[in-house]
Structure 1
Amino acid sequence: MRAYYFDNLPGDQRLPHDFNPSRPVSQETLEAIGVKSWEIPVERYEPKLNAVAKERDYKNRDTINVSREGMGAIYEEKIKGFFQEHMHEDEEIRYILSGSGFFDVRQASTDEWIRLAVTPGDLIVIPAGIYHRFTLDEADNIKALRLFKDEPKWIPHNRGVETDANPYRQDYLKSIGVGA
């Protein structure tokens, strides 16, 4: 996974949106905002992925194919929805099997976007309460395992005053030492 600051320039969300020169983001910075990642080669990934799942108490999983072929008529609507800034009350855990894309996460202390460019073998954990969004890149497809602690919950809470006051958002901010 490659992490860098998003340039915020207008244009296709599927482009890299990297500064020139790039402004890379360190693993330490990601850990400070609660984002965790591992690289697990896709060939024979199951033992290592299962070990992480056991360690983090992930009990369920499924596979998602985000592509025109995989999603059919709802593809454009879903891509637009994934790219709306939101948070969840559960961790978002993804292991990339094929394809590629971008997860953008907000660095709460600066409100800057950090772009996470994911490719096969990347496992990422986006903490509950962090503002984030997702988009495909120009290859226009990604296949990922989604892992869950319990039953999947698909409730995105779009950024706003009400979501800022959400207890999961407040707990997240406390956990990273931001805010009251």
Structure 2
Amino acid sequence: MAVIKVRNTDEIISGEENVKEFLLNQKVLYEHWDITKLPAELHGRCQINDEEKQTVIDTFESEIKSLAERRGYGSWDVVALSEATPNIEELLKKFEQVHTHTEDEVRAITAGHGIFIIKGSDDTGYFDVELEPGDVISVPEGNPHFFTLMEDKQVVAVRLFIDSTGWVAHPFKDPEFQQS
């Protein structure tokens, strides 16, 4: 289950309903998918091939289509990152910069874990959302954020797009943001 840390106050928010309520107040969608649906051989594996990525999509087809219909997403894929990913450190440096998009950034974690750092309301400031398998998050378009991996650098995630060709990160310079 996701855990939230509010950077300004060091408040920790845990428990599915508490996380969902906090994120809803920040206009961020949060859901939880049943990760046990995945075939046993994919549980916890972050180095997967294209056929296994398709298995992830097939396994969560109903959840993906439901989310796509509700939110207007037209395409999706699976991304798998690990220590074995070529140039992982350079790739992470690009991720670890606050930016915005002209559409939502959606991730459904199916293995490993990652962290979204999101700019909340003025009274909340930035907060970290640590995501585990089954956690689904959608950061709204135009909302400053970035996504990165935890220390073990492993994640598999379903990504959904309105138009994947237009999904571009726009740098967001923010004097309120401080690396932690």
TM band (smaller chain): 0.7 to 0.9
Displacement of 1:156? 1.3
Contact in 2 for aligned 1:40/1:49 (Cα 8 Å): no
1:158 is matched with 171
Alignment partner of 1:38 is 2:31: yes
Unmatched 5+ stretches in structure 1:
9-18, 162-180
Letter paired with 2:63: K
Q: CA RMSD in A?
A: 2.2
Q: How many percent identity over aligned positions?
A: 27
Alignment partner of 1:122 is 2:111: no
Counterpart secondary structure, 2:13: coil
Deviating more after overlay: 121-130 vs 30-39: 30-39
TM-score by length of 1: 0.73
Counterpart secondary structure, 2:68: helix
Displacement of 1:128? 0.5
Q: Deviations over 1:107-148 (max 9, x none)?
A: 131362111111111111000011101111122100111111
Alignment partner of 1:24 is 2:13: yes
Alignment partner of 1:79 is 2:92: yes
Alignment partner of 1:59 is 2:52: no
1:103 is matched with 116
TM-score by length of 2: 0.73
Unmatched 5+ stretches in structure 2:
38-58, 175-180
> Per the alignment, do residues 154 and 51 of structure 1 end up closer, same or farther by CA in structure 2, a change over 3 Å counting?
closer
Q: Deviations over 1:26-48 (max 9, x none)?
A: 43332232100100112153322
Aligned length: 147
